Structure 1
Amino acid sequence: MSAEAEPSGHARVAADAATRGLDIEIFPRPAAGSLVEAAALMGIEPSDIVKSLVVKRSDGSFLFALVPGGRSIAWPKLRAVVGVNKLKMPTADVALDATGYERGTITPLGSTTAWPVFADEGIRGRKVAMGAGEHGYSMFVSGDDLIAAFDATVADISVPE
């Protein structure tokens, strides 16, 4: 199969969401220079943007950590919830190999491997924006529906940046 025949990142996201019965809205979005600028472009608060971070375990497997904008992973908290002593952020090329998405576009939806999802409790009860698998696109989704669609583990896994 040639690269041209493979579905685009946002098409993979849409197909996976449909399979899961997850209602999403994918839309084109201009590039932004900051979290605040990105939120303003979408008419939302910075905390309504969720970062999908791929995290590597010491056994070579991965997980997704979903963290609200303006917050970062609290490594001791995430390690405790996952039940491991060591986690780390992989290099950009390793993240691409693990998910099929480039940094800045990563989402559990349509990932080439279905890694477990750990969501910060701050995404509950709100509509959130997140990457849609391809530069220039974002999506809106209910945080609660996203958590349910992945049977995500929800916990306090972040700290203010």
Structure 2
Amino acid sequence: MSKNEVELFLEEKNISFESYEFSSEKIDTNETPIFKTLVLKGNKTGPTIAVVPLDSRLDYKKAAAVSKNRKIGLPPMDYVLETTGYPHGANTPIGIFLHHPEYRIMFDQEIKNHQRIVVSAGELDKSVIISVNDLIELIRPTIADLLVSKTNENS
């Protein structure tokens, strides 16, 4: 398995990680949760990145407030590719930070409950397991409550 740009960047920064291809390997998501990378478009800031647990729902009002936008939402797929360089499903906070350190990146506070997480490595079906502390130190995101509350989800 050859290394991609994200993996090479992590090696260059001396950050420990494990590579996984979802089509061939199974990750224990109870021990190492998967976080998804959402590309959003804010009315004031433009491209905004939110990293949240895979099985959660983003609260757009919270995301807008944290990112200092009045409104924020999911843009068309062509905007995502044009803005990040990654197709839908392959967006990675690491690669986006590498190419666009000026973009506002937010992590949901749930990330602090874990030692390691799985994030995309910038290719479909390819991910990395990385230390939460290393990821936060590398990207320096805003960490905030970005999720729909469980009580609102059930009503």
Q: TM-score range by the shorter chain?
A: 0.7 to 0.9
- CA distance 1:14–1:129, shift in 2 (3 Å): same
**4+ residue stretches of structure 1 with deviation over 6 A?**
none
State how many pairs are aligned. Answer: 145
Q: Secondary structure at the match of 1:72?
A: coil
Q: Which amino acid aligns with 2:80?
A: A
Provide the rounded CA distance (Å) in 1 between the counterparts of 2:32 and 2:55.
6
Matched, 1:152 2:152: no
Name the structure 1 match of 2:57: 72
Matched, 1:94 2:82: no
What percent of counterpart residues are identical? 28
2:111 is matched with which residue: 120, 123, 131?
123
TM-score by length of 2: 0.82
- CA distance 1:59–1:79, shift in 2 (3 Å): closer
Structure 2 spans left out of the alignment, 5+ residues: none
Aligned-pair RMSD on alpha carbons? 2.4
Q: 1:60 deviation in Å?
A: 6.4
TM-score by length of 1: 0.79
Kept in 1, the 8 Å contact 2:61–2:71? The answer is: no
Kept in 1, the 8 Å contact 2:106–2:144? The answer is: yes
Provide the rounded CA distance (Å) in 1 between the counterparts of 2:61 and 2:22.
34
Q: 1:148 deviation in Å?
A: 1.7
Structure 1 spans left out of the alignment, 5+ residues: 1-7, 32-37
